[in-house]
Copies of this chain bind each other. A is one copy, B any other.
Amino acid sequence: MRNAEFDKEKVLRAAMCTFLVNGYAKTSMQDLTKATGLHPGSIYCAFDNKRGLFIAAIEQYQQDRSQQFEQLFANEHSALDNLSRYLALIVQEGLSCDATQSCLLTKSLSEMGEQDEQIKQITCNFLQSWHLALAQVFETAKQQKLISAQSNSQFLAQYLVMGIYGLRTVASTQPDIDVLQPLADKLLADLIRQ
Contacts and interface: CB of A to CB of B under 8 A. Distances in A.
A159 B169 CA distance: 12
A56 interface: no
Contact of A25 (B26, B123, B155): B26
Given A169-B106, A172-B110, A163 B161 contact: no
Nearest 5 pairs between A and B by C-beta?
Answer: A166-B166, A162-B166, A25-B25, A165-B169, A165-B166
A109 B179 contact: no
Interface stretch (A36-44, A134-142, A182-190): A182-190
A118 B69 CA distance: 35
Contact of A158 (B107, B163, B170, B172): B170
Quick one: copies of this chain in the complex? 2
A75 to B, nearest CB: 27
Contacts of A107: 110
Interface string A99-142: 10000001101111111000000011001100000000000000
Contact of A172 (B23, B109, B115, B159): B109
A173 interface: yes
Q: Decide if the interface of chain A is mainly helix, strand, loop or mixed.
A: helix
21 contacts: A21-B115, A23-B111, A25-B25, A25-B26, A99-B114, A109-B172, A110-B111, A110-B169, A123-B173, A124-B173, A127-B173, A161-B170, A162-B163, A162-B166, A162-B167, A162-B169, A162-B170, A163-B166, A166-B167, A166-B169, A190-B190
A63 to B, nearest CB: 20
A88 interface: no
